[in-house]
Amino acid sequence: MLQQLESLYKEACSAIETASDSDALQAWESKFIGRKGEITSLLRSVGQLPKEERANFGKRANEIKDELTALYTEREELVRQRELAHSLEEGEIDVTLPGRPIPVGGIHPANQTLREIYDIWADMGFQVFRTREVEDDETNFEMLNIPEHHPARDMWDTFHTTTPGVILRTHTSPGQIHAMRHFAPGPIRVILPGMCYRYEQISSRKEIQFNQVEGLAVGTNIRLSDLKGTIAAFARRMLGENQKVRFRGSYFPFTEPSMEVDVECILCGGKGCSVCKYTGWLEIAGCGMVHPTVLRNGGYDPAIHSGFAFGMGPERITMLKHDIKDIRYFWGNDLRFLEQF
């Protein structure tokens, strides 16, 4: 058995030299000095030897086990160092590699149009005045001369909240009341941009959420001709120097008189095409002179003050400019659409 022990010892000493990674070292440990290892089992069978040989064998076997354990610890450290060096080498930063491109976002097409609109109105002295998207029924309708049960409410299908009287604004016109109450009795020149919400049947021209840009001018001696001239100047800046504009009589409870603004179709030049439904004209806004009741609700005396207001849809204007056939693309978040702008 002593001979067997010595030859195992030799075998273990040479085998450990070839254990070059932690898996191989683990296998070596189980084979020789682990709980079920060959040296360990020899040590356990010491009882089978004649009594006089036992002490000698036990001493030598323990010596060998201690030596092999020391060898193992030494080798383990070496392997660990090697593996660490290797992994550091693998993860090394190669400063000569080209950098990874950082994806750069773009400005949403609706926001691009909004910014253009702000610029044009700013040049005409109109400042941006922001008001809330969650409105009360009173400001969204009643203050604008649309009492409860008035048939005109059918023009604005409404999202109601669980709080009675609190709704999502259906248009930016309630901003007129906020702006007037803020500035009264002083003069006003503001635009009120922002999201509006309507309980619509979604179609290629109608979304349940969309931007509007409201405009409001209040002062003394503001006349219908001021409204027409200002809107026509806006259309020329927005759509081209030779852009023709037409005003068509219409109805809104908060303006009197009320009109729709049409521009000559920018796609067919007024000849008639599918976009303008072969009329040669495209509607871009509603407008009118601020109704005396609304002026009064805003804190102005209609005997002294007058004003004009308009409301336009930037998504519809963007659709016209870029020949976009469906409004649903705007909020569909499809990069193939958005990346074109």
Q: Is 136 helix (H, G, I), strand (E, B) or coil?
A: strand
Nearer to ligand FA5, 139 or 212 (CB): 212
- Asked whether position 210 contacts ligand FA5 by CB under 6 A, the answer is yes
- Write the DSSP symbol of residue 160: B
Identify which range of 34-42, 53-61, 97-105, 204-212 contacts ligand FA5 by CB under 6 A: 204-212
Identify which range of 28-36, 230-238, 280-288, 298-306 contacts ligand FA5 by CB under 6 A: 280-288
- Asked whether position 214 contacts ligand FA5 by CB under 6 A, the answer is yes
- Asked whether position 145 contacts ligand FA5 by CB under 6 A, the answer is no
Task: Single out the residue of 59, 150, 160, 206 in contact with ligand FA5 (rule: CB under 6 A).
Answer: 206
Please report, for residues 138, 176, 188, 233, 286, the alpha-carbon distance to residue 129 in angstroms, rounded to integers and kept in the order given.
20, 10, 11, 21, 19
Q: Report DSSP letters for 34-70, one per residue.
A: STT-HHHHHHHGGGGS-HHHHHHHHHHHHHHHHHHHH
Site map for ligand FA5, 235-274, x if CB under 6 A?
A: -----------------x--x-------------------
- Asked whether position 286 contacts ligand FA5 by CB under 6 A, the answer is yes
How many residues lie near ligand FA5 (CB under 6 A)?
25
Nearer to ligand FA5, 9 or 139 (CB): 139
For residues 298 and 185, is the Cβ–Cβ distance under 8 A?
no
Instruction: Report the 10 Å Cβ neighbour count for 65.
Output: 20
Nearer to ligand FA5, 74 or 326 (CB): 326
Distance between CA atoms of 76 and 39, rounded to whole angstroms? 19
> Which residue do the tokens 């002062």 mark?
219
